[in-house]
Amino acid sequence: MLKPTVGPIIGHTTTHHARIFLRGDGNTDSPLFAGIRYRRKGDTAWSRGQFIRLVSYRDLAGVIVLKGLEPDTFYEYQAGWKSTLSPAHTPETILELPLQWPKEIYQLRTPSSETDAPRSYIVGSCRYLRITAGVPATPERGDRTFAGINRIVERANPPISAVVMTGDQVYLDDLNFIAPDRNLKDMLFKYRTAFSQPHIKKLMSSVPTYMMLDDHEIKDNWPAKKNHQDETLYTNALDTYELYQASHSPAHELLDDGTLRPLTRYWYTFAHGNTGWFVTDSRTRRNLSANNRRILDEEQEHSLLTWLIDSPYRVKFVVTGVMFYPDRKFNAGDAWQAFPEQRLRLLETIRSHRIKNVIFVSGDVHGSLTSMLTHSQDPDFQIHTVVSSPFCNSRLLPYANASTFIPGKPMARAPSGEYQYELTGKVISQDNFAQLKVTAQSVQVTFHDRDGDPLEVVDIPLR
């Protein structure tokens, strides 16, 4: 058996199961299979291998689900792929062959089942990697940030429960005005290249990674800049996103037989004890019409509001690719600032239902910050936002800074009063990522530079 050409990538992981993505390669005239075997760390015997068939229309990639795991447990696993000569082989009969597994041993850890256990997360977005004529330009620049994240993972206490990537994991439009990626072959190559750099590969093989898309997984400021030539681009972009980012996410429901239900939407939820996450699709369900302008479709808005009101989590993170707030002085029509009616509906729901400890998490702006939103007539209302961006900026793009945002004046007005925000720390204007540490008292936000050294620490008290 041979090592995966992309992956393994650990996706959605619960106390009892884990989803692992991997890709093979080779001549598709012969059947190809990918497999994983695992064991509790410290045991000597491996599990029986689990195999799936790899098919060319899915870029010879797939997801294997490990079931029957135990909470708060370290596991070791091996992963590989194999080509066979006989067309009659199946994922079951492949086990009858003499198999020599690749020697590399990876590790994963299932989350604790204790409701009040402290949790820790890595959050970030926007990893720019330019590829010209099939050659990546200085890929080590972006991968250096993931080396810094690995340093944090190695010493984190509590251990990192997940890495949450909030959009622009790839830039399909990196040469938007010259040669944007439109065909499936180029898009697949970009994903393979971005996810195969050594440090991001190490990170994703050991820590559950949750992803969502933003505009650069399609095209800058999508769909506002959509034109009549973009139908094929859009189809191919979503096909590659579904394969490399959504395939191992909670957007696929796990069925009783251990298979994953086909994808029907991109937004999803996951949770660890008292900490819940609602990861929105703030990009593909937009309605730009004047009479029903919305950044989330009606079904998703209803689900988000229901989750905010009814879910039992003490801390509720809402992930959105573009900023919920603060507002920028230059309104490009792309963030929540350009959808004020829907944003106000969310705010009024949170306020009127007295929902506490809601934190919006986003990226996009190539700058990182924390901010608090309050209400002029309701001293009990308070929400926070954490913005973390970029993992790696393009030399052609500026960083956001404090002067990027509108200071002082109310962000929104309702009959109940005015909503106004203030920055609760400095604006980070360099490549960085955030670590969120959730305890009984607070959510501690630490922004790190690309080498893992701390830049700013902000404590968000829990109520």
Which two three-digit tokens encode residue 377? 């007539």
- Residue 21: pLDDT band (50, 70, 90) is very high
| Statement: residue 448 has pLDDT above 80 | yes
Neighbours of 270 (CB within 10 A): 21
* Residue 27 confidence (pLDDT): 76
**Phi, psi values for residue 91, rounded to 5°:** -60, -20
Domain identity same for 123 and 103 = no
* Interval 396-411 mean pLDDT: 92
Provide the percentage of residues in the chain whose pLDDT is more than 70.
98
| Statement: residue 177 has pLDDT above 70 | no
Domain identity same for 399 and 269 = yes
The overall average pLDDT reported for the chain is 95
- 67 within some domain: yes
Which two three-digit tokens encode residue 398? 């500026």
Q: What is the DSSP string of 149-215?
A: HHHHHHH-SSPEEEEEE-S-SS-TTTTTTT----SHHHHHHHHHHHTTSHHHHHHHTTS-EEE---G
Nearest-Å Rg of the Cα atoms of the chain is 22
CA gap 124, 164 in Å, rounded: 7
Q: Worst-scoring range by mean pLDDT, 176-185, 207-216, 320-329?
A: 176-185
Neighbours of 33 (CB within 10 A): 24
Q: What is the pLDDT of residues 414-443, one digit of tens each?
A: 999 999 999 999 999 999 999 999 999 999
Domain identity same for 217 and 100 = no
CA gap 358, 32 in Å, rounded: 46
Q: Which of 109, 130, 160 is the last residue of a domain?
A: 109
Is the Cβ–Cβ distance between 141 and 450 less than 8 Å? no
Longest dimension (CA), the chain: 73
The CATH number that applies at residue 85 is 2.60.40.10
- 351 within some domain: yes
Q: Which of 65, 88, 109 is the last residue of a domain?
A: 109
Domain identity same for 163 and 97 = no
| Statement: residue 222 has pLDDT above 90 | yes
Domain identity same for 376 and 227 = yes
CA gap 304, 72 in Å, rounded: 29
- 80 within some domain: yes
**Phi, psi values for residue 198, rounded to 5°:** -60, -40
Write the CB contacts of 435 (distance below 8 Å, at least 6 apart in sequence).
120, 121, 122, 123, 152, 156, 160, 445, 446, 448
- 256 within some domain: yes
- 114 within some domain: no
| Statement: residue 36 has pLDDT above 80 | yes
Give me the domain span that covers residue 389: 119-461
Q: How far is CA 459 from CA 3, 140, 265, 442, 447, in A?
A: 42, 32, 34, 6, 12
Q: What is the pLDDT of residues 55-92, one digit of tens each?
A: 999 999 999 999 999 999 999 999 999 998 888 899 99
Is the Cβ–Cβ distance between 369 and 404 less than 8 Å? no
Q: Partners of 9 in the beta sheet? A: 21
Neighbours of 147 (CB within 10 A): 18
Domain identity same for 140 and 98 = no
CA gap 278, 267 in Å, rounded: 8
Q: What is the pLDDT of residues 185-201, one digit of tens each?
A: 999 999 999 999 999 99
Domain identity same for 101 and 232 = no
Domain identity same for 76 and 217 = no
The CATH number that applies at residue 244 is 3.60.21.70
**Is the entire prediction scored with pTM above 0.85?**
yes
Is the Cβ–Cβ distance between 211 and 123 less than 8 Å? no
* Interval 111-133 mean pLDDT: 94
Domain identity same for 97 and 174 = no
* Interval 320-328 mean pLDDT: 97
* Residue 161 confidence (pLDDT): 97
* Residue 260 confidence (pLDDT): 93
- 143 within some domain: yes
Domain identity same for 194 and 247 = yes
* Residue 133 confidence (pLDDT): 75
Q: Which of 87, 109, 131 is the last residue of a domain?
A: 109
Q: Domain total for the chain? A: 2
Domain identity same for 125 and 103 = no
- 1 within some domain: no
Domain identity same for 80 and 186 = no
| Statement: residue 181 has pLDDT above 70 | no
Is the Cβ–Cβ distance between 325 and 411 less than 8 Å? yes
| Statement: residue 286 has pLDDT above 70 | yes
